[in-house]
Amino acid sequence: MDKSTLLLLEKLASELETTTECLWVTLLKQAHVSATMSLLFFIIVIIVGILLFKLHKRLMKENKDEYSVFALPMIISAISWAILFITSLTFLGDIINGFINPEYWALNKILNIL
């Protein structure tokens, strides 16, 4: 950790009325928690996408003539899922850094805060 980052960490610790060591240990633990939560969100979005696709296939198969009734809700659901999927992709960097390199994750969070 370079001098400027250490100064920023000390400044943040003084604002939070804690020590830099305590703050750093807490941030390292939070890296794993944050990565786990982001990974869970990503997995849930993937599962919802698979279920939505299976529902679409089943409705198409069972209601070939009347599928137009389900078309608008399915389109809205697919667009909503696509937005959630793109959002979950933005968390991939945090997931990887949180598990593989928590020190970088913690430094990145400190720099983003300050």
- Name the token pair of 100: 């593989």
In a domain, 71, yes or no: yes
In a domain, 43, yes or no: yes
In a domain, 91, yes or no: yes
d(C-alpha 86, C-alpha 34), whole Å: 18
d(C-alpha 49, C-alpha 78), whole Å: 8
Q: What is the pLDDT of residue 82?
A: 96
Q: Average per-residue pLDDT in the chain?
A: 85
In a domain, 99, yes or no: yes
In a domain, 28, yes or no: no
Local confidence band at 22 (pLDDT 50, 70, 90 cut-offs): confident
In a domain, 11, yes or no: no
In a domain, 14, yes or no: no
Local confidence band at 61 (pLDDT 50, 70, 90 cut-offs): confident
Q: What is the pLDDT of residue 28?
A: 87
Range of the domain at 88: 37-114
- Per the listing, tokens 């389900």 go with 70
- Name the token pair of 7: 């100064």
- How much is the average pLDDT of 91-110? 87
Chain-centre distance for alpha carbon 83: 13
pTM as predicted: 0.77
Q: What is the pLDDT of residue 37?
A: 95
In a domain, 95, yes or no: yes
Q: How many domains is the chain built from?
A: 1
